[in-house]
A and B are shown apart, each in its own frame.
Chain A
């Protein structure tokens, strides 16, 4: 989508995205300190210590540019979109549809109509399960997922299977947290498996799935495939055309945008053939009590006044990410992952859960027999924010025989010093518990 470390050089990127161009400042070296300046929330102390925010897989922090874009919308352009003849409505519509174009380009979709705005990645999966699923799944058909899915990529499929008589199949993983591709292929039954839905990146383990191969196998077996990019799109370049997937879903707040906004990419011909999702305003062409004609894609899936400010915020987040450059972000986060993995492995008693060869910057771990919540509280006392628990992925916790893990998940604004603080914090937990 953009050449590595070139964010500052193109006119598009140097426009008003508001980023510090940390990735472009010095080829090969990412200036995380500089980019931190774009995130006001990071300039604070928590429990008397500088905030070390390592809960990015739960939600990312927001750059000033995102907050400014939303503030500007409410302060200057607020109006309802579509069909308005007055100036503010036209401005609001332009900003809303402009964001669609930004997300389209960010994901590499062919046309803007292939982007449907929803309120979350969860809603995007539910939309596909409910509309595509209801129209296409018959008793005995199969839906294939993997053991490492987030509950949001399990439960919607369980629900639609219950309603249609289709059967949910689950591809297993190995002890490193990698999908067993042989098993995945064996579970893909031509004529029976209708849809495959897998995480591009696992939120609980950090595994980057071999999605290109999974897309190829799914298509070879005659199934379509949805990739959940909630944990991927904020951290690496994504091109849906090159991946070849049929659906791709993203979460706004995990990619430095606001909460309450997400996007569904769907291949145009598939979206076009799908029945609408919710009924209401904006999703219709004409309504009489006898018959309603539905609007075209993407509007037939966007009933009601949408989250206009959130969508504009997401557009600003995409601009911001492009100004830094996804390749520069991916390279820096990989460096953080390597550094963090070594730092945690150096601590006696720390066990990493999720050791795939291909990983995003997520470290799920256990500290001896100290419960993850106790680890989380002790780290919080040192200003370090991590997540503890089952990470909405109980089946994968079961797979590893644990009830919960502690999880540190990184963003491009994290530094190696923060990882040092994490390691020191874990050693402190061990000291408190005397293990």
Chain B
């Protein structure tokens, strides 16, 4: 039995219970909605940008512990970063979730996002962890339409 604590780390449970940057932004520079049709999870990402920087980011939505905590930790992680840094972080985070389970974990520069390293043992839950990031990406690309994990 894989230790459930690997998946549901304290940090994840905490961000699920008390999500940071939760709420909307009036008149955001960018906004996108993400949807996981398999489970009905939904997340809205709102962004304020200036000079290539993510000045503010907030999210709203309904989902499981993994998707809520991922959105919460993501908003903390990308606030104040440049758009390029945010995209690079997503790439690194995505690798963390999808590398084979015996590959060494490279958590360098991931900070709190490393808490999601346990997700790669649970392939059915990877989309829960990436939903907010895909939606952030869509917002940055100024895609107005709802994006889907499918």
Contacts and interface: CB of A to CB of B under 8 A. Distances in A.
A394 B5 CA distance: 32
Interface in B1-57: 1-2, 4-5, 7-8, 13, 38-41
Interface residues of B, number: 21
Interface of A, secondary structure class, is mixed
A191 interface: no
A371 B122 CA distance: 16
B38 A47 contact: no
B126 to A, nearest CB: 12
Contact of A434 (B13, B66, B124, B128): B13
Contact of B65 (A48, A371, A388, A390): A371
Contacts of A404: 39-40
A433 interface: yes
Interface in A282-301: none
A377 interface: yes
Contact of A47 (B1, B13, B66, B125): B1
Interface string A424-435: 000010001110
B64 A432 contact: no
A433 B1 contact: no
Interface residues of A, number: 23
Question: Which of B7, B64, B124: most chain A CB closer than 10 A?
Answer: B64
A374 B12 CA distance: 12
Contacts of A390: 40
A377 B125 CA distance: 8
Contacts of B62: 403
13 contacts: A371-B65, A371-B68, A372-B64, A373-B128, A374-B66, A377-B124, A389-B39, A403-B40, A403-B62, A404-B40, A432-B4, A432-B8, A433-B13
Interface of B: 1-2, 4-5, 7-8, 13, 38-41, 62-66, 68, 122, 124-125, 128
**6 shortest interchain CB distances as A-B pairs:** A371-B64, A373-B64, A48-B1, A403-B40, A374-B65, A374-B64
